[in-house]
Chains A and B, each alone.
Chain A
Amino acid sequence: MESESLWTIFINASLVNNFVLAYFLGICPFLGVSSKIETASRMGAAVTFVMLVSSVCAFGIQALLVAIDAPYLKLISFIAVIASTVQLVEMFIKKVSPALFRSLGIFLPLITTNCAILGLALFQTNKGYSFVQCIVYALGAGVGFTLALVLMAGLREKLELAEVPDVTKGTAMALMIAGLLSVTFMGFGGLGG
């Protein structure tokens, strides 16, 4: 895997294998907070940040677990570390920048149960990335998540004004749009090589 260039990893994680539209990770926030572009982009930023931090942590844990020969603790320690990272990040942001903290609001604690974060940690260990590759991978995944969320929010803002049959209102409509977006993203296939 060492041969994979950083640029390839980035493009793969953000466009070709987009976490939301190709791996179906983080669907809950994708459907839940994608009704306005502004909240969507904030959520995306928060998720990207937590992804970066937890990716670095997961790399450390994996090295430690390999050293003490206890792979069965992987899942439990990952989720525990992600939960406490989110808590830590929350306290840190609150102290350093109260304005940013207020604008992120409830989204920060919710990130704990976002499967994209845990998925990222698991994928990067499965792929055996090096430290730098992990960081680029996390960055790409975060950018991809934000992109999908913002695109979705833009579409849903427009759709507010459209007339649709009663049965399709709500989640069913959101899923259909997501399906179309997913088809669109398939067009990026082959880009990462």
Chain B
Amino acid sequence: MAASTKSSTDEFIKGLWKENPVFVQVLGMCPVLAVSNTAMNALAMGLATAFVLIMSNVVVSSLRSFIPKQVRIATYILIIATFVTVVDYLIQAVSLDLYKALGAFISLIVVNCLILGRAEAFASKNTVARSMMDGLGMGIGFAFALFCLGAVREILGSGSLFGAQLFHDSFQNWVVMILPSGGFFTLAAWLLLFNWLEQRKAKKEKTDALSLTKETA
């Protein structure tokens, strides 16, 4: 998918915006919706996923000539599972509260289709350095998207950000935002915004091209 002429900076940038894993590719939805009820949880989950993504991309791409084609998916999953176990124990050691809040979803990073998708589509075909940049970009893009969701849900749902109260006492919390359905609604709203921006851009390019042809004629 990536042309070899692209610099590694491009690989990094594309994950942030143009191919953002959540808003554009709609990958790895389960953790996105499940743990984004506060900004803190969302950010922690995003960083954990980014770490696993970078490490697995590096390992997969450095082993890419040794892994037999027939068993590659199983091998990728085992590599990913190893790093997820590391993260699982790490979070448990650093902050038990966070570990309890995220629950089984840390383990479920294993089946995040984003990570397996990048291993298969990118890391298995590219050099270690480029795979690392790709993992970094995608990982930060994912964390950023999660934070966007988590922040909106926390501000509207509990009237706070990172646990700090934002509004006066008279603010009525939108309880539905913290509940599961709020996750669906918030993500839908973000997707609408992205679609709208894309459409506006496409329309603008079209009119630009049209006026250009008129001028030359």
Contacts and interface: CB of A to CB of B under 8 A. Distances in A.
A172 B188 contact: yes
Given A25-B30, A76-B85, A79-B77, A172 B191 contact: yes
Interface stretch (B11-19, B40-48, B60-68, B179-187): B179-187
A181 to B, nearest CB: 8
Majority secondary structure of chain A interface residues (helix, strand, loop or mixed): helix
Interface residues of B, number: 38
Nearest to A110: B113
Interface stretch (A41-49, A98-106, A114-122, A136-144): A114-122
Given A24-B33, A183-B181, A171 B111 contact: no
Contacts of B78: 76, 79-80
B34 interface: yes
Contact of B85 (A72, A113, A179): A72
Nearest to B183: A24
Interface in B77-135: 77-78, 81-82, 84-85, 88-89, 104, 107-108, 110-113, 116
A176 B104 contact: no
A151 interface: no
B203 to A, nearest CB: 11
Given A24-B30, A171-B26, A178 B111 contact: no
B74 A24 contact: no
Contacts of B162: none
Interface of A: 21-28, 31, 72, 75-76, 79-80, 83, 113-115, 118-119, 122-123, 126, 166-168, 170-173, 175-176, 178-180, 182-183, 186
